[in-house]
């Protein structure tokens, strides 16, 4: 018996004649951080809205926290905290008043509201500005306030739609850190983003969306294995004539590409670092750098779609 908190089967949604989501199967296990990744307009937000019962699915079955969002949306929403894409607040109210309103709507018991609100504001680092009007908040602060709302709700599932879009690197880093904190609190997190690399760092598993379908699904390592073949990827910086020829002689090397002056990228089926180093030094070259790199989702994604177009 698997411990799935979100499961969707054959999900379909049409806007007019064009399918926004075209037959998606999705399972998210308890306590994992799952990433819905893909370009804008790939159907991520629509999928999320269907999971929340905010929009009706044309086909398919969904179960979130054991409830059907079409029939029992209130129960689903009680168990799910949602941070929408470019979240908005009432600018004329203070941050505290904003959260107070949603706390009451969420049905948090009256006696607990103040305490839970204070805790949430502390965790996102907004406790000192809690009495300021949201109109004075920066974009990063608004995102954090949105996250505070999810934390305050103490939901078992948190769905975050593009939480890092429009944030500067520092704010992104802080926000991702808070999302890791959610996982530590045993919350299942579903996170959508078009910024593959940034989100890759926090996700246990990802699904790559394209044109309303899930193109790939699994851990980053699994995906790289599937798409890049070997999945062992080495970066080399060395001054040596004709490195590709040298590398290709080594057993297991599948692909060598030049990424810059004296810089190369090698994909292999196994760890070939020792042999590579040896080959370079015996050829009389000087080895400047030799690194095993976790393949980035960006690379996987690009390779995958290049492959698709190649066969099409």
Partner 1 sequence: MAQRRGSVWTGCGTVFLKEFADHLGSGRMRVLEWLVLLTGIGAVYTAIQDLKTTTSQDPFLFLRLFTDSHDPLPSFMAVLGFLIPLVAIGLGFDTVNGEFNRRTMSRILAQPVYRDALLLGKFFAGLATLAVALVTLWLLIIGLGLLTLGVPPTGEEVLRGVAFLIVSLAYGGLWLGVAMLCSVVFRAAATSALVALGLWLLMSVLWPLLSRFMTEAIFPTTPLTLLTGPSYQQIVFQQTLARISPNTLFGESLLGLLHPSTRALGPVFMDQLEGAVLGNPLPLGQSLLLVWPQVTSLIAGVIVLFVAAYVIFQRQEVRA
Catalog residues that contact partner 1 under the rule CB under 8 A: 45-46, 49, 52, 54-55, 70-75, 77-78, 80-82, 84, 86-92, 101-102, 104-107, 146, 149
Contact 274, 292 (CB under 8 A): no
State in angstroms the smallest separation of the CB of 15 from partner 1: 8
Q: Which is nearer to partner 1, 164 or 299 (CB)?
A: 164
Q: Which is nearer to partner 1, 5 or 272 (CB)?
A: 5
Q: Which is nearer to partner 1, 40 or 282 (CB)?
A: 40
State in angstroms the smallest separation of the CB of 133 from partner 1: 13
Q: Which is nearer to partner 1, 126 or 220 (CB)?
A: 126
Residue labelled with tokens 């064009």:
18
Residues 6+ apart with CB under 8 A from 268: 230, 232, 233, 234, 250, 252, 253, 254
Q: What does the block give as tokens for 192?
A: 């959508």
Instruction: Calculate the alpha carbon distances from 152 to 133, 140, 196 in Å.
Output: 19, 18, 28
Q: Which is nearer to partner 1, 84 or 277 (CB)?
A: 84
Nearest C-alpha neighbor of 188 from the set 3, 30, 69, 65 = 30
State in angstroms the smallest separation of the CB of 239 from partner 1: 54
Residues 6+ apart with CB under 8 A from 54: 73
d(C-alpha 29, C-alpha 50), whole Å: 18
Q: Which is nearer to partner 1, 92 or 286 (CB)?
A: 92
State in angstroms the smallest separation of the CB of 286 from partner 1: 56
State in angstroms the smallest separation of the CB of 148 from partner 1: 12
Contact 270, 230 (CB under 8 A): yes
State in angstroms the smallest separation of the CB of 134 from partner 1: 10
């Amino acid at each position: 018996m698997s411990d799935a908190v979100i499961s969707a089967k054959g999900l379909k949604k049409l806007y007019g004649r064009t399918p926004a989501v075209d037959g998606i199967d999705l399972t998210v296990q308890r306590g994992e951080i799952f990433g819905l990744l893909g370009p804008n307009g790939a159907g991520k937000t629509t999928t999320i809205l269907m999971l929340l019962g905010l929009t009706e699915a044309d086909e398919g079955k969904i179960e979130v926290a054991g409830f059907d969002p079409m029939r029992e949306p209130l129960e689903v929403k009680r168990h799910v905290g949602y941070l929408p894409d470019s979240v908005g607040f009432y600018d004329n109210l203070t941050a505290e008043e904003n959260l107070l309103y949603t706390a009451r709507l969420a049905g948090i018991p009256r006696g607990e509201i103040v305490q839970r609100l204070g805790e949430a504001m502390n965790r996102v680092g907004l406790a000192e500005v809690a009495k300021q009007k949201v109109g004075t908040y920066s974009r990063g602060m608004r995102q954090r306030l949105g996250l505070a709302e999810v934390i305050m709700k103490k939901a078992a599932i948190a769905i975050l739609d593009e939480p890092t879009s429009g944030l500067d690197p520092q704010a992104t880093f802080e926000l991702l850190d808070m999302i890791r904190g959610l996982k530590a609190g045993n919350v299942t997190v579903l996170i959508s983003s078009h910024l593959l690399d940034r989100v890759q760092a926090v996700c246990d598993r990802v699904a790559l969306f394209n044109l309303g379908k899930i193109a790939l699904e699994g851990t980053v390592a699994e995906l790289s294995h599937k798409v890049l073949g070997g999945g062992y990827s080495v970066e080399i910086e060395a001054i040596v004539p004709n490195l590709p020829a040298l590398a290709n002689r080594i057993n297991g090397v599948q692909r060598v590409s030049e990424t810059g002056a004296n810089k190369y990228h090698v994909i292999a089926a196994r760890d070939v670092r020792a042999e590579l180093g040896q080959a370079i030094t015996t050829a009389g070259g000087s080895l400047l750098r030799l690194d095993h790199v976790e393949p980035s989702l960006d690379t996987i994604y690009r390779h995958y779609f290049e492959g698709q177009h190649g066969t099409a």
